[in-house]
């Protein structure tokens, strides 16, 4: 994966544009996400471990909002169930192009990996096939809030018995003190990872219009409304969490 450091917000910008998953972001994305999301490497690797428990023979494993395919690679490292294949979907052409290159690299290094297809497309318009694992790893927060329940309902309808949705998100908190504390600690995490105050502030304005986090309670209610029977948080580090939702 690219080792280019994320300095996208290091210089003062006259006007901070809305964050987009464009070529500039693609070049620094592995560094950006690792230095911005507490627990990201743990979440990605264990998503593969979890998926191996839910994968059903001859079914699809979806990586929705796959970016550079980190989750897809983890699925392929861990899932050994017969007849499974991975479908990775992202609507950023720049991400999809680089993702395909990285997956070709994985194919050339390892044998007997699950087959994978990378689709450039909108997950809101996807025609879901029967699936045993669906991963939404920090993607739902970029979907318009009024579209989220419909998307989750369609995912629920595509899930096979014994399967699961794994949903990772940045959280907001209904309790103002808890929200302020975990937000401050997240800033401390970014500072400890070498981001300056300017970088942190400019990134905050870049994402505030495009990324709308929900609370854990909102996620649970929405998942139940979408038809899931059980919601089990399995990971939280500061204001970032991952949930298992069972059909």
Ligand X SMILES: C[S@@+](CC[C@H](N)C(=O)[O-])C[C@H]1O[C@@H](n2cnc3c(N)ncnc32)[C@H](O)[C@@H]1O
Binding-site annotation, residues for S-adenosyl-L-methionine: 40, 65-67, 90-91, 122-123, 137, 204
Helix (H), strand (E) counts: the chain: 8, 7
In the bound state with ligand PRE, the residue whose beta carbon lies nearer, of 56 and 139, is 139
Task: Choose which of 36, 56, 137, 202 interacts with ligand X (CB under 6 A).
Answer: 137
Judge contact between 142 and 210, C-beta under 8 A: yes
Task: Choose which of 61, 75, 103, 123 interacts with ligand X (CB under 6 A).
Answer: 123
CB neighbours of 172 closer than 8 A, spacing ≥ 6? 179, 213, 214, 215, 239
Task: Choose which of 37, 103, 155, 171 interacts with ligand PRE (CB under 6 A).
Answer: 37
Judge contact between 120 and 93, C-beta under 8 A: yes
How many other β-carbons are positioned within 10 Å of the β-carbon of residue 152? 25
Alpha helices in 69-147 (DSSP H): 70-78, 93-109
Question: What strands lie across the sheet with 85-90, from one edge to the other?
Answer: 116-120, 85-90, 60-64, 131-137, 159-170, 240-246, 230-237
Task: Choose which of 50, 60, 71, 245 interacts with ligand X (CB under 6 A).
Answer: 71
- The yes or no reply on residue 66 touching ligand PRE (CB under 6 A) is no
How far from each other are the two terminal CA atoms of the chain, in whole angstroms? 34
Span interacting with ligand X, options 89-97, 172-180, 192-200, 234-242, rule CB under 6 A: 89-97
- The yes or no reply on residue 90 touching ligand X (CB under 6 A) is yes
Span interacting with ligand PRE, options 31-39, 76-84, 119-127, 230-238, rule CB under 6 A: 31-39
Q: List residues binding ligand PRE (CB under 6 A).
A: 32-33, 36-37, 138, 170, 203, 207, 211
Q: List residues binding ligand X (CB under 6 A).
A: 21, 33, 44, 65-67, 70-71, 89-92, 95, 122-124, 137-139, 142-143
């Amino acid at each position: 994966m690219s080792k280019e450091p994320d300095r996208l917000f290091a210089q003062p910008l006259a006007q901070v544009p809305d964050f987009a998953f464009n070529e500039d972001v693609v070049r620094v994305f592995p560094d950006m996400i690792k230095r911005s999301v507490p627990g990201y490497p743990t979440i990605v690797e264990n998503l593969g471990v979890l998926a191996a428990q839910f994968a059903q023979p001859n079914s699809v494993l979806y990586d929705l909002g796959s970016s550079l395919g980190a989750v897809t690679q983890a699925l392929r490292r861990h899932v050994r169930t017969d007849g499974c294949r991975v479908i990775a979907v992202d609507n950023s052409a720049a991400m999809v192009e680089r993702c395909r290159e990285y997956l070709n690299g994985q194919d050339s290094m390892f044998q007997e990996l699950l087959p994978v297809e990378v689709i450039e497309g909108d997950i809101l318009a996807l025609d879901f096939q029967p699936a045993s694992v669906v991963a939404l790893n920090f993607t739902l927060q970029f979907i318009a809030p009024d579209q989220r329940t419909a998307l989750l309902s369609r995912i629920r309808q595509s899930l096979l018995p014994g399967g699961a949705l794994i949903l990772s998100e940045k959280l907001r908190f209904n309790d103002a003190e808890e929200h302020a504390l975990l937000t401050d600690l997240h800033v401390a995490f970014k500072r400890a990872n070498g981001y300056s105050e300017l970088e942190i502030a400019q990134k905050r304005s870049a994402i505030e219009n495009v990324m709308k986090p929900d609370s854990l309670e909102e996620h649970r209610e929405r998942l139940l409304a979408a038809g899931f029977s059980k919601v089990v948080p399995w990971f939280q580090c500061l204001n970032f969490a991952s949930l298992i939702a069972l059909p």
